[in-house]
Structure formats: structure tokens, C-alpha cells
Structure 1
């Protein structure tokens, strides 16, 4: 019997995140600080709107591009929050989460052999999606000494005559790094000079802390026409299970993305789309409260790791912290595995997000302070035992 499976899909490794959570699910008393999912409930008025949509029988297909009312609200929101101007009819589409938008954008924009620049550590889907689109992923290894930001020098040295797309993953999962206006401005001349396109994953745009607020590279002169902005509702609005994202960009690209989405998906869940309209219109205060809570947890973790003697740069975005465990002489996977087995605490090895994540752990603070305290207590005990040997 012939092998029924594609060599391409067989060559892609499964997510390095899942291993630990599969074990946790079978381990009594184990806890996790690894899941990138808000611990808040979806705001009640959003849930109520989803329920109302079902009660009113709004269970039909929407247009392939998404509910028109939602696309209008998305564009209004982006203008209000980030000074981005998009046409809801021709430059906006609704997807099944931001992950579908990443996949569809890459498949619509590359031909076999085109190179896609992927800064790492970063979200686990970029590389396999590039491979599935028959592109060549080119990894840019971000450095801790640069706070895991992409520098113009790193960008320039990885560009070839086959480079077509730069994935810009900021605010960053797993490091929590952000790129401010001045830092993005330094990338723009290179992107335009080399005629690159950008897929800017801004799913954590609302979750920024300190003085620097999120800036989209699409706001810069000459960049809107070469950028696909990807965002969604999972993180800022605590709507992970609603599976709703969106993409905005130049009409010719969005049209092809809608075509592919049409054949693969048809449309995003209808009641989720009605609920998302409510989220965009009336949930600014809810988001602000969640951001305030995340910021409190963020500062708590930064201080706690300093007290433990672990090197850890201060993250200003998303809800992750990325401490270094290099001084213990173990790989990230070894450290995370022993921590899980000895202290029943799951964290994610940095290598789940690229080889340059070696020597680091991703810890999520999308958990209550009580859970974080319990988790950090177990880490502290584990480190004390290592240091006493």
C-alpha cells in the first residue's frame, strides 16, 4: 500500500507546546503557566450578543469576506486606536482566528522558492505555514541583548534577491518584546528599498504596557500598500473559543485571500461575528481592566525572577515573560521536563518558538496572581534544589 500522507506534512514537526500540556492533563495536582489564553471570561455583553444572535436565528452564512457590519466596525476601531485607514468593503476580511489569516496570506502571496523572513523566537505557526505555501523560511535569530527586537542590521543581512515577505511578530509571543515607532521607522527604508511585503501579526496590539503603546508599521508612509495587518479577538477581548480574526491590506491581496478563504472555510462563525461587533463598539473599559490586571502580574513576575537570580528582560507586550535558565547548564526542554516531573509545573521550553529560544522558558501571566504565586513557589523550590547540588 502506498504512503497516503504527503511528504511535506510529514516533514513538519508538531507544536513543541503541546507535549507538556498533554502530560499535565493526566497528572494530578499539576498546574500550568504555559497556556497563552486569557483567564478572563469573555465580557458579558459580548456573550449576550452571541446568545441573542442564536435566539434570533442568525445562523446563516455571512458573505465570504465577513459580516459587513463587523468589517465596518473593524475599520472604525483601527482608525480610532491605531490611525489605520482601511476600506471595510475592499480592504478587510474576517477569518477563523488570526491563525487562518496568517496561513491564507502566505499561500496567496508566495510562489515556490520565494523566501519568507521569520524573526524568532516567535509564534509557532509562521514557519510551518510558510513551508505549506512552498516558500523557503529564512530565520532571523533575535537576540536577548537587543531585547528580542528586530534590528535594521539583522534585516539587511538576511535579505536576498528571493526575499518577498517579512513576518513582523510584535508584540511578540513568546518574548513579550515590542517595536516602538522609532525602531519600526528604521526598518521601513529597507523594506521599501528591497520591495518587500510585510505580514504584521498584531494580535497582541492592545496588550502593551508602560509608556510605549502599539504602533503598526502600516501607518508609515509607503507601507500600507505593502502590508497585511492581522489581528483578532482572542487575546484582547478574551474570545479564544469564538475563533475570530481579521486581515486588512491592499485590495488585490485581500481579494485573493477571500477567494482562498471561500474555498477552504466559506465564512467565519456567524454568531461570533455578531458578538465581535459588540466587542468593538462597547468593550474598551473591559479591555482596559484586563490590561491593568496583566500589567500587575507582569511587574510581579519581573520582580520575582530578579529575586530568584534569573536573567529576564522586561517585556512590554503580550502576556508572556521569557526568563533565561542558561546558568543551570540544561537545555530548555530538559529544564521544563524536570520541572514538570519534580514540581508538577508546566512551562514551555523556549525552543518551541525556534532554535534561538534555547536557554529560555516561556511563562504566561494569563493566570491569577494566586496561581502565579503557587507556580513561582514551585520554580523557586526547583532552582534551590539545583543550586544546592
Structure 2
């Protein structure tokens, strides 16, 4: 029908405008018809909106102290900087390709270092894959293991990439929420007050469940899962023959004597677990984008297939620098000179500083056990100023975060974005702050909060 219409149109205009006009109209109609086709793949439907874009844009438009995004604004340790400088200026062959699945010195030290922690004899060629950051490890895992119609259990609040990665692989995300237990009046709440309901968690497992995503220490909550909680997850995974994708990028950032436990170290779990880590989080160098995933060869071989047919290879020089960093840490592990002891000790002081400061204006921080982050309860503000500008259906924490950027010069991230759509309204009274910041940034935060406090006084 469209071809016939185009032909008639050309026939009608040709006597008046000549062949040139007719040809132009034909091209126009052809382009219109061609552009009517859907350009994007169906797997992108519904995942194009990213709330981070809006908050990053706002933080650039206003004079703010950025406590929203999770990156250190201080230098990596000297030994890490020196390792990177050596990698870029030393052996010229580090400018070339290395092994597709990881620079051999790096896969070797990762196998040695984490093998002891996991209680496994790791083969660098079979049990370790180096990826473009932990993000790359997650994407590779979902693409390799999740099929059309598979269900993936996601414990929320959850890092916001788990859901779209599940959807892009053709899977169906199934959500189960950690729920808070109120603290006694006048006392601070803690991230470990947020617990899974064992019955609810068990109800999420079905014959279609392929994997469960675990994040400990958790972003945004800062919760470190206890051994008892991990055993609950492990028992259900084994009972239902489900894989566990364990995102452990903050494993060295634990506070107050809490202990990070890898679920792969529990009996019966190595065989069904992928353990994901990040050099960026480990050595305060998030821009290096070096991550890894470890697991049994019968699972890892499928990740290698995705890797070799996508990125194929990660930058050699960054891998060489990370290898040197881990070699140093292995020599100093458990000693005061270990960065994996020094960093959490320093960041616990930052955390405590931020908690005290936020309380001064009526925010109610929850004390995190781990990670870069803490969340603060804004319920009192929701009661006092419920009608902040924003769309009618926009969760309150998003409107509050925008108001705080524009009026108080402080950037935080609304916690509702870490929840699935049906649960966002239930958790729209929290905002997330990053305390892994330089002392000067914390001082700038204090200055903004002192001004805010003065404005609160009658």
C-alpha cells in the first residue's frame, strides 16, 4: 500500500516539479518508512531511564558538596600509584595484548590470595576471570547464565544494575526486601537491624529460579550479612539447585570489628557460587576498572565464552598494577602495614564524623557495618515539609534530594532507586551518603550543615 501511495505521489508531482522533485519526494517517503522500524533491541525496553544521570547533572549545575556518588576523592595509596606508573613507563610489552582471560601475574596472585580465604585450591586459568571492573563481571555472569524466562532473586535494597542486567539477559527479577526493625526511641539504628524474613525468602524460590544475587557488604545499606544469614541463603540455594552471584566489592571495608564472610567459603557453596571483586574498591582507584570473578570451572567456562565474544581482553597496564598491589598485600596481610586494615580504620572515622554532622540538622543516620555508604532517615522532614516540588508520583526521597541540592548545596542519592518499582513508596524516606571522602570534603560538608542548622533556629 505504501509503495503504491509513493508511486502515485511521484506521478502527481512530476509534471509540475520535474524529475528532481519527484525523486526527492520518493527518498523522503522511503526514509520515513525505514525509520518507522524499531531501532533498539527489545531487551532494552524499559531500562533506558537512569536516575543517576539526573542527579549527576544537577550536581554540576549547582555549587555543591558531592556526597552522592561512590568514589574516593583522595589519592590511592602511594604503592598503588607507583605500581601504575611503573606499568605505564616500564616494560614496553605491557602496551600490548595479554592473555584474554587475565594478565597471568594477576590471575596467579588472585588465585593464591583468595584461594586461602575461600578454602580452595584455585587454578588461575580455570577459576579466575579478569573483567572490566566488577560491573563487567556482573554483566558477563548474567549473559552467560540467565536464559529466557529464568527467575533471578534480588535482595533489596540492591545496586541498581542487577535488575536491568537480568532483564537484558531475558530473565525475570524476583525481589525480596530486607526490612528494618525500629530502634528504641532516641537511639541510632544500625544496618544490621535490617533483616530478611526467612519464610518470605523461601517463598521466592520456584522451579524457574536460576540464580540469587547477594551483595555483602550491601550498597546502599552498608549491611554485612552474618554467618547465620548466609547459611540461610546457602541452604535455600542448595535445596533448590540455584546459583549464587555474590557481589563482594566492599569486602575490605568493614567496621566495628565485623567480619566479612564469603558465601563461597560455606560448605556446599563453592560449587554454585560466583564471587565478584573490584580493584577499584580495594585500592581506592575506581577509574582503573579492573574487576574479577572466581568460581568453579564448570560455571566459569560459560563466562569465558561471553568474555571472549565481547570485550575479549582488559587493559594490560592496569592489570599489571593491580597484580603488584596484591603481591604487596599478600606480604603484609593481617599486619598494620596492610592497606586492607588501614583503609577501613580511616573510613570508620569518616563514617563517625558524618553521622555526628548529619544529626545536627535532624537527619537520622543508620550506622553501617561496611561499604562506602550510610543511609539517613528523612521521615521527620517528610512530615514537616511533605509538599516539595516534583511530579505527583515521584517518591519523596527523590524530591528531597533535589531540594537539598538546590537549597543546601549537598548531594545525596535517594534510596528508593535501589528498590523495585512496587516497593519504592515503602522506602522513600531515606537518602544515601558516601563517606569515603577526603577530609577537606567532610569539612566542606560541615560548613554547609552549620549554615543549615542556623537556618533552622527561630
- On whether the aligned pair clears a TM of 0.5, the verdict is yes
Contact 2:80 2:322 in 1 (8 A): yes
The answer on 1:318 being equivalent to 2:318 is no
The answer on 1:104 being equivalent to 2:104 is no
Match of 2:82 among 38, 48, 55: 48
Contact 2:361 2:452 in 1 (8 A): no
Aligned length: 387
Match of 1:31 among 51, 62, 65: 65
Quote the residue 1:177 is aligned against.
223
Quote the residue 2:444 is aligned against.
374
What's the offset of the Cα at 1:230?
Answer: 0.4
C-alpha distance 307-30 of structure 1, shift in aligned 2 (>3 A): closer
TM superposition score normalised by structure 1: 0.93
The answer on 1:288 being equivalent to 2:334 is no
What's the offset of the Cα at 1:187?
Answer: 2.3
What's the offset of the Cα at 1:155?
Answer: 1.6
C-alpha distance 181-301 of structure 1, shift in aligned 2 (>3 A): same
The RMSD of aligned alpha carbons is: 2.1
Match of 2:168 among 132, 136, 142: 132
CA distance in structure 2 between the partners assigned to 1:47 and 1:364 by the alignment: 23
CA distance in structure 1 between the partners assigned to 2:223 and 2:322 by the alignment: 27
Quote the residue 2:356 is aligned against.
303
CA distance in structure 2 between the partners assigned to 1:380 and 1:157 by the alignment: 48
What's the offset of the Cα at 1:19?
Answer: 1.5
C-alpha distance 325-387 of structure 1, shift in aligned 2 (>3 A): farther
CA distance in structure 2 between the partners assigned to 1:233 and 1:340 by the alignment: 31
Quote the residue 2:414 is aligned against.
349
Unaligned runs of at least 5 residues, structure 1: none
What's the offset of the Cα at 1:96?
Answer: 0.4
Quote the residue 2:21 is aligned against.
none
Quote the residue 1:60 is aligned against.
96
Quote the residue 1:15 is aligned against.
50
Unaligned runs of at least 5 residues, structure 2: 1-34, 182-191, 333-337, 387-395
Quote the residue 2:435 is aligned against.
365
C-alpha distance 117-182 of structure 1, shift in aligned 2 (>3 A): same
C-alpha distance 231-4 of structure 1, shift in aligned 2 (>3 A): same
The answer on 1:144 being equivalent to 2:173 is no
C-alpha distance 52-348 of structure 1, shift in aligned 2 (>3 A): same
CA distance in structure 1 between the partners assigned to 2:158 and 2:450 by the alignment: 27
C-alpha distance 214-103 of structure 1, shift in aligned 2 (>3 A): same
Bigger Cα displacement from structure 2, 377-386 vs 347-356: 377-386
The answer on 1:207 being equivalent to 2:253 is yes
C-alpha distance 381-121 of structure 1, shift in aligned 2 (>3 A): farther
CA distance in structure 1 between the partners assigned to 2:116 and 2:239 by the alignment: 30
Quote the residue 1:259 is aligned against.
305
C-alpha distance 379-150 of structure 1, shift in aligned 2 (>3 A): farther
CA distance in structure 2 between the partners assigned to 1:365 and 1:136 by the alignment: 34
TM superposition score normalised by structure 2: 0.79
Quote the residue 1:334 is aligned against.
399
Contact 2:80 2:283 in 1 (8 A): no
Contact 2:360 2:449 in 1 (8 A): no
Quote the residue 1:73 is aligned against.
109
Could you say which structure has the greater relative contact order, defined with CA pairs below 8 angstroms and 6 or more residues apart? Answer: 1
Bigger Cα displacement from structure 2, 117-126 vs 279-288: 279-288
Bigger Cα displacement from structure 2, 16-25 vs 146-155: 146-155
CA distance in structure 1 between the partners assigned to 2:358 and 2:267 by the alignment: 40
CA distance in structure 2 between the partners assigned to 1:148 and 1:13 by the alignment: 30
Residue by residue, what CA displacement relative to the aligned partner does 1:55-79 show, whole Å, maximum 9, x if unpaired?
3211121222111221110122213
Contact 2:43 2:168 in 1 (8 A): yes
Larger Rg: 2
CA distance in structure 1 between the partners assigned to 2:120 and 2:218 by the alignment: 20
What's the offset of the Cα at 1:310?
Answer: 3.5
Bigger Cα displacement from structure 2, 137-146 vs 214-223: 137-146
Contact 1:32 1:345 in 2 (8 A): yes
What's the offset of the Cα at 1:367?
Answer: 1.1
What's the offset of the Cα at 1:308?
Answer: 4.3
CA distance in structure 1 between the partners assigned to 2:412 and 2:207 by the alignment: 39
CA distance in structure 1 between the partners assigned to 2:290 and 2:200 by the alignment: 33
CA distance in structure 1 between the partners assigned to 2:173 and 2:446 by the alignment: 36
* SS of corresponding position for 1:363: strand
